[in-house]
Amino acid sequence: MNKNNSLTIILSILLVAAIGYIVFQNKVVKTIATNTPIPQTTSRQPAKEINVTTPLNVPIFGDAVISGVARRVYFEASFPVKLLDMSNTIVWQGPATAIGDWMTVDYVPFSVTLPTATLNNGNYTLVLTQDDASGELVPPELYSISLPLSIAN
C-alpha cells in the first residue's frame, strides 16, 4: 500500500466519523427540542420548612417562648424572627435558636423568647424567615411564614 492510498483511507475514515458525529448531534438536539420540557421553578419552598408548635390561637402574656421545628432555614444554628405591629412596624426582632444538631436536612427543634411583657396589648404578626447569610435569596426563594399573634398583658 502506498502513502496516497493510506492517506485517502485515513481521510475517508475521518470524514465518515465527522458526518456521523454531526448526524448524531442533530438527532440529540431534535430529541431534546421535541420532548416536553421539565418545568422549572424558582421557588424551593416545600409545604412547611418552619412549623410552630406553640399554640398561638390564644392571647400571649408575659415573656412568651415560641417553639417548633424547622429545616433548611438555619445558618449557624439560628434564623431571624420579627414581631410586627398592625402598621407593619418592627417592634422586636431576634433569632430563633436551634435545639440540637442544626446541620441536617431533617426537622430540628427551635425556640425563641419574645419579650411581650413590654409590649402593648393588641394584635401582632410573628414573622419567621429563613436565614440568608449570603444575601442572595429573594422571595419566593427565601422561605418565610407569618402568623397572627395576640398579646394580652
* Integer angstrom CA distances of residue 5 from 15, 16, 18, 19, 137: 15, 16, 20, 21, 64
- Name the fold adopted by 50-151: Immunoglobulin-like (2.60.40)
Comparison of pLDDT for 136 and 95, the residue scoring more: 95
Contacts 24+ apart (CB under 8 A), 84-90: 84/124, 84/125, 84/127, 85/122, 85/124, 86/122, 86/123, 86/124, 88/125
Quote the cell numbers at residue 122.
393588641
Under the banding of pLDDT at 50, 70 and 90, the label for residue 136 is: confident
How much is the average pLDDT of 114-122? 90
Is the C-alpha dihedral spanning 100, 102, 107, 115 positive or negative? Answer: positive
Comparison of pLDDT for 42 and 3, the residue scoring more: 3
Q: Is the pLDDT of residue 82 over 90?
A: yes
Domain boundaries, the chain: 1-40, 50-151
Q: Is the pLDDT of residue 89 over 90?
A: yes
pTM: 0.66
Q: Is the pLDDT of residue 148 over 60?
A: yes
Q: Is the pLDDT of residue 18 over 70?
A: no
